[in-house]
Structure 1
């Protein structure tokens, strides 16, 4: 067991996890980072399914999502972060040192940074999966710019869907919001804004059956079904934005850390401290407001600094 003990273990490898690793490694904490594996835990997080990233500072001409994550990973490795391409399968934050399992291997840590991210909820269609990054997106602020003077659709009925639709009107000539019900779940003020926007139209009581198009052409349309008449029709458009919410990747931490009703890790305001001293959370696993690569990286930096200071305090407390 002795060789499986680390000062800091980082769970998750998006911008938050890699930034935390860079800062923790430079503070000589020799972090061990679990970057995950498999389709559910893509090493590099949501940016791995984003093609062009134009809004990350420092890249004048933009950068591909996977390339940005490869750069961050290489930078973390340069400072001797130990990176393991495996999932964490269980944790125990009730005793110290904290215990973390990956498959049958057990590790212990003085401090843990959770940066396991969130996953966009999808419709679950094979055609949607095939065209992700080729006209199908779950982030208007990431990809809206690529639909300048195009006609796009948004699926959803909550605040996120209205925000996405409203944002897309900056670029698209027409935005159609498709909702499976007759009325929206979004807040009244958001609804009023959308109804007043001449670029937004609504298709009620309707679901998407299939995304039409190919990777070479991008999205060319949607196959829709009316829930009132059961009628199927093809609807021409150049892009589909799925805005039916995000799911934080926190199933491992139920009963270990305080979560909010939506399942996000609760952190103390202005910090990355969780309900357990010595466990910190960064990125989309605790941020349900901004959900951007740059804000995830920022909280990753905060988590590493919080962890370093906390470890320092513990060392003084024991002397």
Structure 2
């Protein structure tokens, strides 16, 4: 009798964990990044007994082919959902649509019981649903938007004068670009040069796509890897930000500093969580950030120089590097 009660309690605990995303949805229905921080990225939980019917289906399913592997699919769609929550923002239609779709998904999963074929079908349908939803998360950042904001400006890079637009595109040469919804409602989009993650670019945009700020970043990626205590950026490390309205710098600098700390850690940190100490250490590093005004009247055409530099505003450290986990 005692054993049966214990197993029942344990099963309830596991079931509650598997539904934690739904519980979080009820507590914070329109704060998707906050829900992401509390949402596990799979239902299987290591297949440790006692198992719920859903876990039993996932853990004991015999796939007909490797693409039917439920453990792999469970992890893939779970990680994707957490990533989508981070991108969906706070109080946005995208956040609401994602949460509503996920509630329907969990209801369908529960209806499968321990039927693995049913779970496989529901998870595949969910993958298609999230693929469609993700397209609505992405602000329309393209070459035309960047070109309009940059306006043909150039900057001095060592001994060369370089097109700002070309350098931005060099550091965003991948698709889809990673992004994160910021607490202020904006979206930070970033990328890197293929096979050279030390060359990065970023942009902060409104959800409608208008660019507020762009940045070029060199030499900071993974400069404080796990197991190391000494920060080792490259000699040419820099974070150069370009704005047309200095207010955009004040509004977004906290997030950019948190993003830089995440880049230094390799975008693999969990904070709040097990990596909180490392995140705090990275956030306190003397980042090589400089800002420039694209509306500056230059003496040499469209070349941004030191006379166009802007002072960095004092801003609170109220954005966690964990927001940019990938």
Q: Is TM (by shorter chain) over 0.5?
A: no
Which structure would you say has the larger Rg?
2
Band of TM-score, shorter chain: under 0.3
Q: More helix by proportion, 1 or 2?
A: 2
Give the number of the structure with larger relative contact order, counting CA–CA contacts within 8 Å between residues 6 or more apart: 1
TM-score calculated relative to the size of structure 2: 0.25
TM-score, scaled to structure 1: 0.25
